[in-house]
């Protein structure tokens, strides 16, 4: 009896037995693709269990190295995001929007690693070797000992890797690779999954560090089955707005270092340059105090970082007011607006609300709640906060304020950049940073009354 076909959603990896236009699990459209079997399986039931497999080698835990050896690239922001450098026999997945600078970053990283003694191979399935050489010439990397290849057949690539025995390989991109043993088009679920599995296995067994470049969907997620993210050791997202020259490399998964670590780069005419003081960079274009502008002292990975929240509140000409957010969670904005109206008596009915994080940064931590509330009230009341003040803290649904972790590190970063006051929730453990005046609040209503006057 022929096996029934199976289908998988490329957005959420949900399985189904039939094709449909919309996924029942994540409601995404046109993401259901047929999954071809990777092999025909055993020919008969008699062959199952009739033989024995190869004995595997066991290693004593006491003989293992306490820390995997790392190779530094010399680019501090890249090494920070990787968790302290490149780990041998690791698989790294890098995703980002088209044209954001993934290939530029990886070509620069390949050149740095090659100069540090690694044997590096750059394989492109989207560009010819001549096109890569043109980019290398523009970036001033023509003297770097990086070997280039242009190929999409994975069998030929693996054969070359076995012969060359490189230390570091870049595959650009995983969606263009194809296996002749899988009956599916390049970029399909089966091909992407099989190619990623082959490359990851090859990296582990041969001690080669492999970087896979992945395309992203319109939602910002890496295209293809989500199982690819589970196969690799590290998942990096390259973020940034095209209107800004700043780019952020964010680690969302890392088996060899902290997750949510970020590296900040600036796009220049000669490639990507690392930014060693991101807080000063994100606040460099901040002018005089203006209504709706609030500086937030946040934590990205292991580093404190200051950024600016900008809010605009205006009467809505429509029956349904608009809520537009860039760089923050839209659902959390709706929650903050509801708490402000219910617990602090600050209504936003009939008002359009626009919220933006300056510089193209994306903030995810809950400690930004109080800074967002301050920006919204400041824009609504047309009252600016002092220029030398930072705000951070989490807001609960009851209207209470919860202290943020690593308060001292946030205050130290603010003091280093010249800020002299901070508005924070009340903490059980007292203490601060010299030169920074603390204004502690216990509830959202107390904050509104103390900062903007009684309602």
Pick from 354, 414, 373, 382: nearest CA to 289: 382
Pick from 220, 223, 31: nearest CA to 212: 223
Q: Is 21 exposed, middle or buried (0-12, 13-18, 19+ CB in 10 A)?
A: exposed
Residue 27 in tokens: 């409601």
Residue 322 in tokens: 């608009």
* φ, ψ of residue 242 in degrees (nearest 5): -65, -25
Residue 265 in tokens: 């780069």
Residue 156 in tokens: 């030929």
Give the whole-angstrom CA distance, residue 211 versus residue 214: 10
Q: Is 128 exposed, middle or buried (0-12, 13-18, 19+ CB in 10 A)?
A: exposed
What residues form DSSP beta bridges with 356?
A: 310, 326
Residue 435 in tokens: 């030169």
Residue 99 annotated as part of some ligand binding site: yes
SS3 150: strand
Give the whole-angstrom CA distance, residue 271 versus residue 319: 47
Residue 96 annotated as part of some ligand binding site: yes
Pick from 267, 239, 259: nearest CA to 96: 239
Distances (CA, A) of 140 to 117, 133, 265, 266, 437: 19, 10, 18, 17, 48
Given CA atoms 172, 175, 176, 182 in this order, what sign does their dihedral have? positive
Residue 100 annotated as part of some ligand binding site: yes
Give the whole-angstrom CA distance, residue 371 versus residue 410: 13
Q: Compute the CA torsion angle 250, 255, 258, 261 (nearest 10 deg).
A: -10
Up-side HSE of residue 295: CA atoms within 13 Å toward CB?
32
Residue 97 annotated as part of some ligand binding site: yes
User: First and final CA of the chain: distance in angstroms?
Assistant: 75
DSSP class of residue 366 equals G
Residue 102 annotated as part of some ligand binding site: yes
Q: Cα angle vertex 311, ends 325, 388, to 5°?
A: 130
Pick from 118, 201, 212: nearest CA to 166: 118
Residue 98 annotated as part of some ligand binding site: yes
Binding site for ATP, by residue number, is 96-103
Binding site, by residue number, is 96-103
């Amino acid at each position: 009896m022929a096996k029934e076909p199976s289908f998988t959603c490329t957005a959420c990896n949900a399985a189904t037995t039939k094709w449909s236009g919309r996924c029942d699990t994540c409601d995404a459209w046109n993401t259901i693709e047929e999954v071809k079997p990777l092999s025909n399986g055993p020919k008969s039931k008699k062959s199952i269990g009739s033989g024995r497999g190869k004995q595997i080698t066991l290693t004593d835990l006491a003989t293992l190295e306490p820390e995997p050896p790392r190779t530094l690239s010399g680019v501090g922001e890249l090494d920070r995001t990787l968790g302290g450098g490149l780990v041998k026999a690791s698989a790294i997945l890098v995703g980002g929007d088209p044209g954001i600078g993934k290939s530029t970053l990886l070509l620069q990283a390949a050149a740095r690693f090659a100069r540090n003694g690694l044997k590096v191979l750059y394989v492109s399935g989207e560009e010819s070797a001549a096109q890569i050489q043109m980019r290398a010439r523009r970036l001033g990397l023509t003297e770097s000992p990086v070997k280039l290849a242009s190929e999409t057949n994975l069998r030929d690539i693996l054969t070359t890797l076995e012969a060359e025995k490189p230390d570091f390989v870049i595959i650009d991109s995983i969606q263009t690779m194809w296996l002749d043993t899988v009956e599916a088009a390049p970029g399909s679920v089966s091909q992407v999954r099989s190619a990623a599995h082959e490359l990851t296995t090859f990296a582990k067994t041969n001690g080669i560090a492999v970087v896979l470049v992945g395309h992203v969907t319109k939602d910002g997620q890496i295209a293809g089955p989500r199982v690819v993210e589970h196969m690799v050791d590290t998942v990096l997202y390259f973020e940034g707005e095209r209107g800004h020259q700043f780019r952020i490399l964010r680690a969302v998964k890392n088996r060899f270092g902290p997750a949510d670590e970020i590296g900040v780069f600036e796009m220049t005419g000669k490639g990507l340059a690392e930014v060693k003081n991101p807080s000063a960079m994100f606040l460099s274009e901040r002018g005089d105090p203006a209504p709706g502008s609030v500086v937030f002292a946040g934590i990205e990975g292991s580093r404190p970082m200051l950024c600016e929240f900008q809010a605009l509140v205006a009467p809505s000409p429509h029956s349904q007011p608009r809520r537009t957010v860039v760089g923050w969670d839209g659902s959390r904005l709706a929650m903050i607006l509801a708490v402000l109206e219910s617990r602090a008596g600050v209504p936003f009915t009939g008002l359009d609300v626009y919220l933006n994080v300056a510089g193209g940064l994306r903030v995810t931590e809950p400690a930004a709640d109080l800074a967002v509330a301050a920006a919204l009230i400041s824009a609504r009341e047309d009252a600016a906060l002092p220029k030398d003040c930072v705000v951070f803290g989490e807001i609960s649904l009851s209207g209470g304020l919860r202290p943020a972790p690593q308060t001292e590190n946030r205050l130290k970063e603010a003091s280093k950049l010249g800020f002299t006051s901070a508005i924070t929730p009340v903490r059980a453990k007292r203490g601060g940073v010299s030169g920074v005046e603390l204004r502690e609040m216990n509830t959202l209503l107390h904050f509104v009354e103390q900062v903007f006057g009684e309602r």
